[in-house]
Amino acid sequence: MVGLDGIGMQYRSEDFEVDGALRDVCILDVSINDWQNLLEGLVFADWSVQFTWTLSESSDGVIPDARSLFDRLESEPEESASLAVQVGGIWFTCYFFDIDEIEFTFDPADVEGPTSFAHLEAFVRRLGDVTRRNVVVAMEGTDHRAMPALIEYSPM
């Protein structure tokens, strides 16, 4: 775990044991501006980024601005969207469930040691730095406030 000073995250194999559950990277209590900062920050990262509208037969992969994205999701109840980001060998996926919480899910099997953990750390830091918000990595779940953090990062 990392202290809230953000000095350094440490790999602990027990946090990434394959147990049938995914892991979540979360930023709680966010605004539309935080979402916009996130989307812009990922576009300029040196990572593979894929955006998809579920109902669109041909998705051009262009990431819309945050307000347009959530307006479309609200006005078209059957529509959904996903954003997948590959950092090293780890895919982080966001489904835009809640406008108040940024949540990316990843498979703990992809974090096999310190080298792949460094990719997770880079992703967590990027999210925190572009949104200027605290980031928590926790077990997969719906109430991240009640779950103990595996990793916490607070940008300076």
The angle subtended at Cα 43 by Cα 32 and Cα 102, nearest 5°, is: 35
Q: How far apart are CA 106 and CA 23, in angstroms?
A: 5
Average pLDDT over residues 28-37: 96
Total-model pTM: 0.90
Give residue-wise pLDDT tens across range 75-103.
998 999 999 999 999 999 999 999 999 99
pLDDT reading at 4 higher than 60:
no
At the topology level, CATH places domain 13-153 in TATA-Binding Protein (3.30.310)
Q: Name the average pLDDT for the chain.
A: 89
- Alpha carbons within 13 A on the beta-carbon side of 118: 3
pLDDT score, position 7 = 55
Distance of CA 7 to the CA centre of its chain: 20
Q: How far apart are CA 116 and CA 156, in angstroms?
A: 24
Domain ranges in the chain are 13-153
